[in-house]
Amino acid sequence: DIQMTQSPSSLSASVGDRVTITCRASQSISSYLNWYQQKPGKAPKLLIYAASSLQSGVPSRFSGSGSGTDFTLTISSLQPEDFATYYCQQSYSTRWTFGQGTKLEIK
Amino acid sequence: QVTLKESGPVLVKPTETLTLTCTVSGFSLSNARMGVSWIRQPPGKALEWLAHIFSNDEKSYSTSLKSRLTISKDTSKSQVVLTMTNMDPVDTATYYCARTTIFGVVIRYYGMDVWGQGTTVTVSS
């Protein structure tokens, strides 16, 4: 299976900060990479698909980039509602896998 | 409005078989650009993809759980069913179903774009 590794595992930041989360695949996955946001007690929400395409209704401060094995999720200016856990997920292989998550906390 | 709702037992005993049902509305399971995935999340841990099924009955399973999982759909009832055999306490988790949309025309990108609220399953004797 393709292993997805996120870094960092946790991150403290302030409102207004620019934040970047990294996801690395154990083999090339082209652009078959999605990002999700999950708040405590809630279901995940799709933010980015195909590595860089913004899902409908998601604020433009979220952006994704990368291809092959290295990907990033960037939040340009953190808002209070952005503090959550973020997951990457690959759909390159027929057996999909998630990263271990990055918890974004308020500094 | 697209919704998905998971249903099934709250508590199962070790070695029993778990059967979960995902009832969807607002889209059809016969839509060629849509499918349904199952994902679980043990308490305090990461998401784990389990299986998916598409309109053409294409199915895929997690490598580690493949021998224990079966996914099926009943298009007329708008339901997708996941069964997991030989349940163990480590299978205690919140189980989600999610609509899986195929984005793109030339290249098919998959994304889980609408999720159910999840159902919590505890495995204990």
Alpha helices, DSSP H only, in chain A?
none
Chain A segment 50-89 residues within 8 A of B by beta carbon are 50, 53, 55, 87, 89
Q: Does B42 touch chain A (CB under 8 A)?
A: no
Query: In 3-state terms, what secondary structure has residue B46?
Result: coil
Q: What is the pLDDT of residue A14?
A: 96
Instruction: Please report, for residues A33, B11, B70, the alpha-carbon distance to residue A49 in angstroms, rounded to integers and kept in the order given.
Output: 6, 35, 27
Backbone angles phi, psi at B56, to 5 degrees: -85, 10
- Which of A31, A49, A96 comes nearest B49 by C-beta? A96
Q: What is the pLDDT of residue B50?
A: 98
Q: What is the pLDDT of residue A30?
A: 96
Residues of chain A short of pLDDT 70, as ranges, are: none
B65: left (phi over 0), alpha (psi -120 to 50) or beta: alpha
From chain B, the residues in CB contact with A101 under 8 A are 46-47
Residue with tokens 């953190």: A78
Query: In 3-state terms, what secondary structure has residue B81?
Result: strand
Per-residue pLDDT of chain B (125 residues; tens, 9 = 90+): 999 999 999 999 999 999 999 999 999 999 999 999 999 999 999 999 999 999 999 999 999 999 999 999 999 999 999 999 999 999 999 999 999 999 988 889 999 999 999 999 999 99
Q: What's at A97, amino acid-wise?
A: T
Q: Residue length, chain B?
A: 125
Closest CA to B49 of A53, A87, A30: A87
